[in-house]
Amino acid sequence: MFVKRAKARIGHLSGEIASGTSLKKGPGPFGRHRGPGHLLGALLIFVFVGVAPGAGTILAAPSPSSSSLSDSPNDLVREGLRFDFGAKGAPRDLPRAIALYRKAAARGSLPAMMLLSQRYEIGRGVPRDDSRALFWLRKAARGGYPPAEDALGDRYAGGVGVKKDDARAVSWYLRAGRHGYGESQDLLGLRYERGDGVPRDLSRARYWYERAARDAGNPDAFSRLGALWESGQGGPRSLERAYFWESLAKTTNPAAQERYEALSKKLSPEVRRRLDREAAEFLRRYRPRWSRFLLRP
The CATH code of the domain that includes 90 is 1.25.40
Angle at 39 between CA 177 and CA 249, to 5 degrees: 65
Tell me if 217 is assigned to some domain: yes
Ramachandran angles phi, psi of 51, nearest 5°: -130, 125
Amino acid occupying residue 202: L
Give pLDDT tens digits for 96-148: 999 999 999 999 999 999 999 999 999 999 999 999 999 999 999 999 999 99
Cα gap 107→92, rounded to integer Å? 24
Greatest C-alpha distance within the chain: 64
Q: Are residues 105 and 26 in the same domain?
A: yes
Tally of structural domains, the chain: 2
| Residue 165, pLDDT above cutoff 70 | yes
Q: Are residues 205 and 138 in the same domain?
A: no
Q: Are residues 137 and 200 in the same domain?
A: no
The boundaries of the domain holding residue 77 are 2-58+71-143
Q: Are residues 127 and 26 in the same domain?
A: yes
Tell me if 153 is assigned to some domain: no
Tell me if 134 is assigned to some domain: yes
Q: Are residues 25 and 122 in the same domain?
A: yes
Which of 103, 122, 143 is where one domain is finished? 143
**Overall average pLDDT of the 46-59 stretch:** 35
Tell me if 231 is assigned to some domain: yes
Give pLDDT tens digits for 211-250: 999 888 888 899 999 999 999 999 999 999 999 999 999 8
Tell me if 196 is assigned to some domain: yes
CB 225 within 8 A of CB 188: no
The whole-model pTM stands at 0.77
Q: DSSP letter at 58?
A: B
- Count CA atoms closer than 13 A to 130's CA, side-chain side: 8
Cα 222 to the center of its chain, rounded Å: 15
